[in-house]
Amino acid sequence: MKTLFTSILVLLIATGAAAQTTRVGAIAEEQAEKAKELGTEGPSDGEKFFRQVLLSPLLSGGDGLYPWFGSIYGGTGMGAGAGFLKRLEKNAFYNVQAGISTNNSMLMRGTVAAPELWRGRLQVDATAQWLDVRGVSFYGFGQGSAKEARDRFDYQPTELTGNLTLKPVRFVSMTASYTATAFDTHRDNPRVFGADAPRLDQKLRYDIVRGTLMFDWRPAAGYSTRGGFYRAAFERSEESAGLPFSFNAQEYEAVQLVPLVKEQFVLAGRALMTLTDADEGHDVPVIMMPFLGSGSALRGFANRRFTDRNRVLFSGEYRWRPSRYIDMALFIDAGQVASDRRDFDLRRFDAAWGIGARFHGPDFNALRLEVARGREGIRLIFAGSQPF
């Protein structure tokens, strides 16, 4: 009996092992068949289509005709048009653009860049631009200006700018610029006058000299997930007709991107300060004053909501990538304007926060959609570039 029991036990164990081996083999064969069908894992059909659109020559800056999307001027709504770009040897190029916005503002711009010299360290470029801007907003001066005090004016500038850029070492560039500009502003139904709206409804002509020092170690200015950008600019604006509207300006900007988890998540921060100083007995025209309120400066407030001689802005974002061509972001902005730089007060900063989506290629941003909230309500933002 003992021998019979032992024989039965051995047979059961062998049968179970064989069955287990058979199941393991079946599972392995099934997985192998699925692997043959699936092949190497890759992007979805939707991602392939989106990548093809983003990386097409029309949007990535290749030669030839391309569609143009963006902002003609702050507050004019989404703009669209066309451009033509031709790249030449040694980073030389010429580029022309024309566009119109949703409120019928118009843009014409042409840029030409000469071949780089001194082993790519020196380049000269020039830009001619004409704008016809409709319905620019002005709410009065200061952080306490009333939303109901909104005034509107049209703005027609013509500009010719020349730049000389020197790149002495990697990441560092120094640019000397000269701009000759003439512009006119016009209001159909003025609400403020005189000192409360310096040089609205009149023509001005300026000779502007500017010097800019930049340290930029981001992989690409249009879209990056790491690196930093630091800029200091100094400007002299001389009213060439001898009118009392000459002034100096200086602007400082710092942007830092901190990647997390192989750049799938990014902490991004920005600080911006603009300061102006009018000559003795002179003033700064409204249209040339620093302002806050736009798709990149204190989101959550109407365009040009706050205007004055000086401004400070801080922005922070937490960005993550659910797809290789889409970024999501939570953001907060805080800013203030003041007639005197000594009047800045942390207790008087206005803040806005929100969430957004950015559609991008490897080194450029194609479209940005954001919802932002400030103390005056909710704003929707459509833009063609990163906020910073």
> Hey, where are the domains in the chain?
44-383
State residue 269 phi and psi, 5-degree precision.
-135, 150
Determine the pLDDT at residue 60: 52
Tokens describing residue 111: 């840029």
Q: Six-digit token pair at 378?
A: 């909710």
Contact 74, 304 (CB under 8 A): yes
- 261 falls in which pLDDT band (50, 70, 90)? very high
DSSP of 320-344, one letter per residue?
EEEETTEEEEEEEEEEEEESSGGG-
pLDDT for position 44: 53
Q: Is the per-residue pLDDT at 172 higher than 70?
A: yes
How high is the pLDDT of residue 345? 92
Phi-psi region of 302 (alpha: psi -120 to 50; beta: other; left: phi over 0): beta
In angstroms, the Cα distances linking 266 to 262, 319, 383 are 9, 5, 20
pLDDT of residue 25: 45
What is the identity of the amino acid at 55? L
Q: Which of 65-79, 152-166, 215-229, 346-360 is predicted with the least confidence, judged by mean pLDDT?
A: 65-79
Query: Residue 196 has what pLDDT?
Result: 82
The pLDDT value recorded for residue 113 is: 97
Rounded to an integer, what distance in angstroms lies between the CA atom of residue 386 and that of residue 292? 17
Q: What is d(CA 84, CA 111) in angstroms, rounded to the nearest whole number?
A: 11
Class of domain 44-383: mainly beta
Write the burial class of residue 332 (CB in 10 Å: 0-12 exposed, 13-18 middle, 19+ buried).
middle
- Give residue 331's identity as a one-letter amino acid code: F
Residue 59 has pLDDT above 70, yes or no: no
Say how far apart CA 66 and CA 53 lie, in whole Å: 12
Residues 6+ apart with CB under 8 A from 354: 299, 300, 330, 331, 370, 371, 372, 373
Task: Kindly compute the dihedral angle of the four CA atoms of residues 71, 47, 227, 122, in this order, to the nearest 10 degrees.
Answer: -60
Query: How does the average pLDDT of the chain come out, rounded?
Result: 86
**Predicted confidence band at 27 (pLDDT cuts at 50, 70, 90)?**
very low
